[in-house]
Chains A and B, each alone.
Chain A
């Protein structure tokens, strides 16, 4: 019996990375210090932009690795390729958009700026909006299966 195309450990890692990214992404805004969350014992790091930005990048690398691994497996599966449900299509779209806008922002901070200086705001806002959309989706339909049948 071959191992599942999308093993449970990979799904769990994806969830952990996504939750960590949501937390450290919120940490890019001055929220945790303002609302006393960074004052809680053990959570002072949430008020340190250097730490949250570094963690956001590290978790972003993990998520991009996992997502591209899913995509490559799905594309390479041939006749065994599982069919995406509606929830699965939403998941692919939202995760893909949040990862894509994040990678473009990383490139923007390097030396391969893809958008003009005055358009960076739209990139940031899109990244934030898609992340919020993903959060809303996770709360509303996060437990729905992404693929029609396990193959």
Chain B
């Protein structure tokens, strides 16, 4: 292919852009109103822990029961992660605790104010855990719930690495990897909130919402929840978190205190996510994904142009002969 042909094929790709771009319209799914989102009114949360207890009760059967001793893993840098002897821990995310309450104390007008913040998976609109999982074990359902299938997860923890809040938590000694090559690949199963996908699919509500005595949390179509969050923020002079973080999530918080201040007041670390400004992880790849979808148009144009060039040259040579 010569330079002119290349430029022509590039032009074809640009012309095809309007066809390919809508396929990657990242807001289309969110705008359809089919995804469900939840809204936390943090001014109502008293930190009673009823939601945490409700979650643990509803998911008791889903928690891991690892086989011990764990299979030896190679190389030696691969460490087991084991919370099976710390199942009662409820001040952080663990494989046995998918929801916990953070408390942030900030000083406003010389007065200390404490705010309780229920924390769990944010259920992103474009979840990097699901979109980058190489094994297809993390998925986003049509209702917006992001769920890890414990039956096939290998516990590689990529989902935790790519999550802006590092939400999923690993338990070693359980799951499919034990039946494959436990010494050399995998390390258990990743666990996190599934927003009670089964209960919601059956027409119910997430256990944390049902258990809350103060109606801190509501669930509904994403569009309505966003509108409700803005109404609440407007009425109370509050601030919103989760609408745009990581390109948009299905968990919105409304707080009377700016989230920058709350984040600064939190002790973050493993199992203790922050409230930082989270960049859109999957959005960074949008242009490259568009290039993949445009490539066939450019390739077809390039291939046809090459054949046309060959035919023209052959005809010219025939004329000279």
Contacts and interface: CB of A to CB of B under 8 A. Distances in A.
B26 A110 contact: yes
Contact of A50 (B28, B147, B284, B317): B284
Contacts of A50: 162, 281, 284
A74 B302 CA distance: 12
Contact of A111 (B9, B24, B314): B24
Contacts of A49: 132, 158, 161-162
Given A68-B303, A109-B131, A122 B136 contact: yes
A128 B291 CA distance: 22
Interface residues of B, number: 62
Contact of B26 (A31, A67, A111): A111
Contacts of B134: 28-29, 124, 128
Nearest to A66: B299
Among A7, A60, A73, A124, the most chain B Cβ lie within 10 Å of the Cβ of A73
A42 interface: no
Describe B's contact surface by its main secondary structure: helix
Interface residues of A, number: 54
B295 interface: yes
Nearest to B298: A65
Contact of B141 (A3, A64, A117): A117
Among A29, A66, A111, A120, the most chain B Cβ lie within 10 Å of the Cβ of A111
Interface of A: 1-3, 5, 7, 10, 28-31, 34-36, 49-50, 53-54, 57-58, 60-62, 64-77, 80, 102-103, 106-107, 109-112, 117-118, 120-125, 128
Given A111-B23, A125-B135, 17 more contacts: A2-B310, A3-B309, A30-B156, A34-B75, A34-B77, A49-B158, A57-B285, A64-B296, A73-B304, A103-B292, A103-B293, A111-B27, A117-B139, A117-B142, A120-B130, A121-B135, A125-B136
13 contacts: A1-B317, A3-B310, A10-B1, A29-B158, A49-B162, A61-B292, A77-B307, A102-B292, A109-B126, A109-B131, A111-B23, A120-B136, A125-B135
